[in-house]
Amino acid sequence: MRALCWNGVNDLRVESVPDPEIVNPHDVILRVTSSTTCGSDLHFINGYLPTMREGDVIGHEFMGEVVEVGPEVRKVRKGERVVVPSFICCGSCWYCTHDLWSLCDNTHPKPQLQEKLLGYPTAGIYGYTHAFGGYAGAHAQYVRVPHGDVDCFKVPEGLRDEQVLFLSDAGPTGFMGADFCNIQRGDTVAVWGAGGVGLMAMHGAYLLGAEKVIAIDCVPERLRMAREHAGAETIDFSKVDDVVEALKAMTGGRGPDACIEAVGMEATGFGLEYAYDRVKQFLRLESDRGEALRQAIVACRKGGTLAVLGVYGLIDKFPMGVLMNKGITLRAAQQHGQKYVPRLLEYVQRGELDLSYLATHRMPLEEAPRGYEMFKTKSDGCVRVMFTP
């Protein structure tokens, strides 16, 4: 089959690789119908996340048609159209049964790679480094989905791929961020980053009852999307002197009740702090550029909530004292997708959520390296590229 492979820093190629096979009794094989770029992929494409190997098939946000099922698969049937969360979950361990899906105990084939750093291993992910399991990714014609009955969600009749595709990762990740904020009537929620995850966090905040949502970014098309599709007020941080002051001005001096960080370890900024982070990260003295995260901590109102959705390494210069003195509740996780996908599918069916506008560009899988280049440079107004194998 054809698949998009990582061959080194900034070296992606579409190659012919062996087809996946049923390995374990609960496995399902999908023929991928659509997959999409995710900002978190850029971290290992740019060389900031270790444990990739030459030849790894990447991609973790996808949907497809079931073409083969293992002997122990009971619910999922051949021919069904399904969407699959990017974290592989067993559905039986303590974490899965407590809706903490991305912490699943039973889907990491190489737990020793994580144990030293995290203390305990997490669930595995498709196509996202060997530290996260080493599974082949989904920018391919076919993909093996372990625990098919748990991880495949049937797509209701009449929905198009672009309406459903983003429920694989950006949708549940963003919605989880809003869910973490424990939104009360009258709350203002500020969201850093207006990419796929950030935009979904804005939709989520409104769906969960926020009074006002404020988006912070510097890309004009993305800020326009935040206004037009997600109904947010916007701050272009390249145009204001001080984001924190701007947020105060927009919230009667209180500050946002909750802040959602949807940026991650390669934040962009313009000041001295950005230059400092940039140099340190380039020299590999730190793994993260954390300007957005630090800003969110300062901007958040006293006693507010901060939800971190961006991917980080071992960040330094983390303002713990600010967090502590302001009594901020910090929530963070990789997506617990299996908890949210059924609910999000209902929103989509009822017409209350339509993320198809995220797919600003579409191309065949064969052109995926060009697609990732556009996505990375955010050229031509690119928010997400949708690939068709």
The contact set with other proteins (CB under 8 A) reads 1, 3, 5, 7, 13-21, 23-26, 50-51, 53-57, 72, 90-94, 97, 105-113, 115-116, 124, 130, 133-136, 140, 142, 144, 146-147, 366, 369
Smallest gap from residue 17 Cβ to other proteins (A): 4
Smallest gap from residue 2 Cβ to other proteins (A): 9
Smallest gap from residue 19 Cβ to other proteins (A): 7
Smallest gap from residue 285 Cβ to other proteins (A): 13
**Alpha-carbon span 110 to 340, nearest angstrom:** 27
**Alpha-carbon span 341 to 176, nearest angstrom:** 10
Residues near 101 by beta carbon (within 8 Å), at least 6 away in sequence: 85, 87, 89, 95, 123, 335, 336, 337, 338, 339
Residues near 257 by beta carbon (within 8 Å), at least 6 away in sequence: 181, 183, 184, 187, 188, 189, 301, 304, 305
Quick one: tokens of 3? 């698949």
- Compare residues 12 and 383 and give the one whose CB is closer to other proteins: 12
- Compare residues 25 and 209 and give the one whose CB is closer to other proteins: 25
Smallest gap from residue 61 Cβ to other proteins (A): 18
Compute the chain's Rg from CA coordinates: 20
- Compare residues 93 and 250 and give the one whose CB is closer to other proteins: 93
Quick one: tokens of 241? 């002197």
Q: Which residues pair with 145 in a beta bridge?
A: 28
Smallest gap from residue 38 Cβ to other proteins (A): 19
**Alpha-carbon span 255 to 155, nearest angstrom:** 40
- Compare residues 110 and 362 and give the one whose CB is closer to other proteins: 110
Quick one: tokens of 163? 């309406």
- Compare residues 94 and 270 and give the one whose CB is closer to other proteins: 94
Smallest gap from residue 103 Cβ to other proteins (A): 13
First-to-last C-alpha distance (Å) of the chain? 10
CB 155 within 8 A of CB 32: no
Cβ neighbours, 10 Å, residue 356: 16
- Compare residues 111 and 381 and give the one whose CB is closer to other proteins: 111
Residue 292 is inside which H or E element, if any? helix 291-299
Candidates 44, 306, 89; CA nearest to 190 is 306
- Compare residues 21 and 346 and give the one whose CB is closer to other proteins: 21
